Amino acid sequence: DIQLTQSPSSLSASLGDRVTITCQASQDINNYLNWYQQKPGKAPKLLIYDASNLERGVPSRFSGSGFGTDFTFTISSLQPEDIATYYCQHYDNLPLTFGGGTKVEIK
């Protein structure tokens, strides 16, 4: 199984800050890596697919990059509504797996 290691597991940042989360895969997954946002008590929401493609309707302050084993998710300017846990997920093979999540809080 492919392991996805997300870091950090949590972070605290100020409004307007640039926030970066990394996701490292245990083997090459091409660009088959997606990012989700989950707000407390809510279902996850797809933000980024195929490492760098913004899902329709998602604000442009969210972005993703990477290929192979190392991926990055960025919020360019943290907003109050971005408080959530963020997960990466690969779909290179089965089983599909998720990273452990990164909880983003406001400082």
Residue ranges that bind other proteins, judged by CB under 8 A: 30, 32, 34, 36, 38, 42-46, 49-50, 55, 87, 89, 91-101
Smallest gap from Cβ 64 to other proteins, in A, equals: 12
Closer by beta carbon to other proteins, 68 or else 101: 101
DSSP structure string for the chain: ---EEEE-SEEEE-TT--EEEEEEESS--TT-EEEEEE-TTS--EEEEETTTEEPTT--TTEEEEEETTEEEEEESS--GGG-EEEEEEE-SSSSPEE---EEEEE-
Smallest gap from Cβ 82 to other proteins, in A, equals: 18
Smallest gap from Cβ 96 to other proteins, in A, equals: 4
Closer by beta carbon to other proteins, 18 or else 59: 59
Closer by beta carbon to other proteins, 31 or else 82: 31
Distance CA 71, CA 12 (A): 20
Closer by beta carbon to other proteins, 17 or else 67: 67
